[in-house]
Amino acid sequence: MATTEQPASAARKHSPALDGLRAGAVLSVILFHLGLFQPGWLGVPVFFVLSGHFITRTLLQQPGAPRGPRARDFFRNRALRLVPLYLVFCVALTVLAACGGGGRSLPGDLPYIWTWTYNVRPLLPGYTPNALLLYNHVWSLGVEVQVYLLWAPLVLCLSRRSLARVMPALVLAGPAVRVLVWLLLIAAGFSGGRAVQGVYLLPFSYLDAFAVGACVALPEVRAKLPRPAVVVTVALGALLVVSLVSVVTGFGRAHRVPADLGWPNMLGAGAGWIWQYSLIAFAAGAVTYALSTPGRAARAVGWAPLAWIGKVSYGAYLIHVPLIGLALVLLSQRGGGRSSGAGAPGPVSLVVFLAVLFGLTAISYRWLELPWLRRKRNALSPVTPAEPDHEEVAS
């Protein structure tokens, strides 16, 4: 058992390795949206685990300060991180809609995009998917902001001893919470497929992912965990077994390897939406646990270029989908309206796309996000050297 103080203190230090993990998550999502890596959507729940880890650490800082100022600082902190770039994004979509562009669905979707509630839009009457790829990814940002509203009071109101009990319980309750959400949606008249979609889109389904990240942030829980190598081996081994079983059975039925490797988007097959989200969260939490502990793996994943991508991952996540949509429109125009340009890009196109994306991301970070991040540091209560403000780059 890991009973020394090193893991506990490691959980409080800035770790470039966790920036590297965030980079892997955003790159996998980008490849998913480009049609190059079907399991790449798994990067989104990895983000949720990392968010649970960092925001819990942030909320636990300055335990002697009153809860009110700590909550105020937390929400101001989050607003300064998320709002400036998102505001530009929303304004751009609004101008596009006012000019008659962006697809027929955009005007009706704008109120939900502006209010961080686009994740519920597909579940409401009158929804039709937008024909253009512009903003379908902001559902996850809505989930994150909605969880913040619950997470801050939960962490601030409970004692550390209570948190060390509640968070593991919330992790174990994840499958039951998703079943309850599914039953409520069925009772509300949703079909089975739409109810599964609702489970995918609603914030309650990811409380266990945030709780896994919180467990890794709590020294009281970390001290009871086995060595990181053991935890990672068990968690990733379970992921590998699920994938192998899916690949073998899929090959037996269709005589080809399934492109999703056993991880279909929304996990609708075989009731995966009940238990596979928990398995993903466990695996992401295990990797977070390992990378927040000093060692060779942390040094490797904390490689400076990878850590930089993780640092600017919020901008890359927000920008990449409309950039893909713009590229598809341009390719369609060049091809006389044919859909051939909608296929996955080749190696040269991929390199060009990533260069443009991270060029725009760097500009956004330097000139739009960083000035507000500097204000954010000034807005926070003084932070002890043992717990630096690493949360500034969590998306």
Q: d(Cα 45, Cα 281) in Å, to the nearest integer? A: 7
21 with 287: CB under 8 angstroms? yes
Q: What are phi and psi of 335, to 5 degrees?
A: -95, 15
Note the pLDDT tens digit of each residue in 132-143: 899 999 999 999
CA distance 31 to 35: 6
pLDDT of residue 332: 74
The encoded tokens of residue 337 equal 């309206």
Whole-number pLDDT of residue 225:
95
Nearest residue to 91 (alpha-carbon basis) of 318, 250, 312: 318
Tens-digit pLDDT profile for residues 339-391:
444 578 889 999 999 999 999 999 999 999 999 998 875 544 433 333 333 44
The two structure tokens encoding residue 255: 């005589």
Whether 223 contacts 3, CB under 8 Å: yes
Could you say which residues of the chain have pLDDT below 70?
1-14, 335-342, 377-395
The pLDDT of residue 13:
57
Pick from 211, 187, 208: nearest CA to 198 = 187
pLDDT of residue 128: 92
Q: Residue 369 has what DSSP assignment?
A: I
Q: Is 78 helix (H, G, I), strand (E, B) or coil?
A: helix
pTM summary value? 0.91
Q: Helix, strand or coil for residue 336?
A: coil
